[in-house]
Homo-oligomer: A and B are copies of this chain.
Amino acid sequence: MWFFVFDTIFIPYMISKAQVKHIRSLDSKKMRYDCKQFIVEGSKMVQELVKSNFQIVAIYGTKVWREEYLTSNEAAVEYFEITDADLRRISNFTTPNEVLAIVQLPDLPLAHEGGITLALDNIQDPGNLGSIIRIADWYGVSSVVCNTKSVDFFNHKVLQASMGSIFNVPCMTIDLRDYFLSQKERETYACVLNGDDIHTCPKISEGILVIGNESNGVSAELLELCSHRITIPKKGRAESLNAAVAAGIVCDVLI
């Protein structure tokens, strides 16, 4: 005679071809905005996600991951236990890290609620954008805005480089010129190569810090709307600093 202990038997959820296709399609920016969904991957990132206010559509992960990281309070989310083989089918990683979540794109207000805004003019490198979101989170920046030509906030490389800070700092893609015109009462500080030494500027608790494109800096059309031009003084020979490094130094000095 046999006894079956059903609750110890792991019956994986089988992902359909259509689901694989949908999840993989969210790698494209157009699809993310059409479906209003994006992907968060990896154990650490999904742990930060479940603690955040972001709306989770579904989590696909291992049994071990759920048991270790989803508390009873958070277990209300739709969780599908899948096999490693299925995780590899839907993952962006060469070596998937236990879990992947589909998340609702946040619908953020554009209204200014005080504090410092980091404005990014045409940042192209996903690692730079992710690092800048992390800097914003470290220095308690209120929001990060970038123009439509920049790399997308919800690109998977940006999310990884942000190390979960994307869940703490409101990030919006907007027309920066319109935004600057709507925020005329605020001081704006553009990082350029021939402005005032940042070390001579007083600390600020309110205003917009503008970081330009990796190759071309802040565009002329935005520069004419900025009230201050600031520079990190050079002591050696390099032509410039990496955009994320410059953002970090400016935040450390001014905030």
Query: Is there an interface contact between B248 and A137, defined as CB atoms closer than 8 Å?
Result: no
Residues of B within 8 A of A235 (CB): 138-140, 255
Query: Is there an interface contact between B237 and A137, defined as CB atoms closer than 8 Å?
Result: yes
Interchain nearest-CB distance for A137 vs B (Å): 4
Number of interface residues of A (CB under 8 A): 34
Given contact pairs A241-B138, A244-B244, A252 touches B236 in the complex (Cβ within 8 A): no
Q: Which of A16-24, A26-34, A127-135, A179-187 contacts B (4 or more CB under 8 A)?
A: A127-135
Contact of A237 among B168, B239, B246, B255 (CB under 8 A): B168
Interchain nearest-CB distance for A203 vs B (Å): 11
Decide if A117 is an interface residue (CB 8 Å cutoff). no
Residues of B within 8 A of A164 (CB): 239
Which A positions have Cβ atoms within 8 angstroms of B?
127, 131, 134-141, 161, 163-165, 168, 232, 234-242, 244-249, 252-253, 255
